[in-house]
Amino acid sequence: MFAFWSHLLPVIQLYLLGLKVLLTQLFSRPFRLPVMPRQDGKVAIVTGGGSGIGYEVVRHMARLGVHVIIGGRDEQEGLVAVRRIREEYKEARVEFKKLDLASLQSVHQFVQSFKQRRLPLHILVNNAGVMLVPEGRTEDGSEQHFAVNYLGHFLLTWLLLDTLKDAGKCGFFSRVVNVSSSAHRIGKIRLHDLNSRQCYSAHAAYCQSKLAQLLFSSHLHQELQRGGFPVTSCAVDPGMVDTALYRHLWTPLQLAQSALARLLLRTPAEGAATVLHTALSPALEGECGGGYWADGCRQMTTPPTFDPQLQLSLWETSLQLLGLQ
Catalytic residue among 55, 150, 206, 246: 206
C-alpha to C-alpha distance for 231 and 287, rounded to whole angstroms: 10
Beta strand 174-179 with 67-72 is unpaired
Cβ(296)–Cβ(234) under 8 Å?
no
Q: E strand or H helix at 175, and its extent?
A: strand 174-179
Distance CA 179, CA 181 (A): 7
Give dist(CA 144, CA 200) in Å, integer: 11
Instruction: Single out the residue of 147, 138, 146 nearest to residue 209, CA to CA.
Output: 146
Query: Which are the contacts of 250, defined by CB distance < 8 A and separation ≥ 6?
Result: none
Q: In this structure, what DSSP letter does residue 158 have?
A: H
What distance in Å separates the CA atoms of residue 269 and residue 57, rounded to the nearest whole number? 8
Per the annotation, the verdict on 206 as an active-site residue is yes
Order of strands, sheet of 123-126, starting from the edge strand that comes earlier in the sequence: 94-98, 67-72, 43-47, 123-126, 174-179, 231-237, 291-294, 297-298
| Residue 5 · residue 203 · CB < 8 Å | no
Residue among 107, 211, 213, 204 nearest 152 (CA):
107
Residue 121 CA to residue 115 CA, distance in Å, equals 10
Distance CA 26, CA 243 (A): 17
> What are the catalytic residues?
206
